[in-house]
Amino acid sequence: MTGTTNNPGHIIIVDDDAGIRNALDSLLRAEGFSVSAFSDPLQFLKTGVPQGPCCLLLDVKLGTVNGLDIQDEINNAQLGIPVIMMTGHGTMPMAVRGMKAGAIDFLAKPFSDEILLHAITEGLNLWQHNKMQEQVACEAKRNFSSLSVREREVMGLAIAGLLNKQIADHLGLSIVSIKIHRASVMKKMKTRSFADLVRLGELLGIRDPSIKRYKA
């Protein structure tokens, strides 16, 4: 993602080395990005993140502050910003910890412009994906709230893998009633296929793993 796009995104730099901050700032602005740069990670945490597409370049060693600890703070605060870690003296344990905490890349200094821009592209793509998932989840919650109690029961049993007859037996209803409820669930949840319904059920966390189609 380069300056050829209309709104490439906002990149936040957190690095206590003024030379590196300025170099990254100049490069990214030349590529068309909006940029915010901080030497103090705590100041960044106080400032927060922009509403639009964004990505964070976070140095591992920030004076007496460990960038990996800042990453933990970002996760705890649920800031929802993709993180690219940068380090001039990284070790494998540091990289493993950073990646486990959700960092999308771990760049060893010095790195090329191409590698950096590729990582930023991945970060902004991840931001877009996460926002789309949030929107899907919000709509799914609204739609699920419109279901009747019986429809929620039917949906839960259906996405658990039970057949119509099994659902009917479980709820003490006729198969015809189950078919009607399932059709209503599909309509209210705005799903075009049963696979979509299962996916939304997983997203909402309403699938009961203890319910099996076939009893052991």
Query: pLDDT at residue 92 above 80?
Result: no
- In angstroms, the Cα distances linking 39 to 42, 120, 130, 179 are 9, 20, 28, 61
Question: What's the pLDDT tens digit per position in 145-196?
Answer: 999 999 999 999 999 999 999 999 999 999 999 999 999 999 999 999 999 9
- In the predicted model, what is the mean pLDDT of the chain? 87
The residue count for the chain: 216
Q: What CATH architecture applies to the domain 10-134?
A: 3-Layer(aba) Sandwich (3.40)
Query: Domain locations in the chain?
Result: 10-134, 146-204
Q: What is the pTM of this model?
A: 0.72
Q: What fold, for 146-204?
A: Arc Repressor Mutant, subunit A (1.10.10)
- In angstroms, the Cα distances linking 17 to 20, 68, 113 are 5, 17, 18
pLDDT score, position 91: 57
Per DSSP, which regions of the chain are E strands?
10-14, 34-38, 54-59, 61-62, 65-66, 83-87, 105-108
Residue 48 pLDDT grade (very low, low, confident, very high; cuts 50, 70, 90) = confident
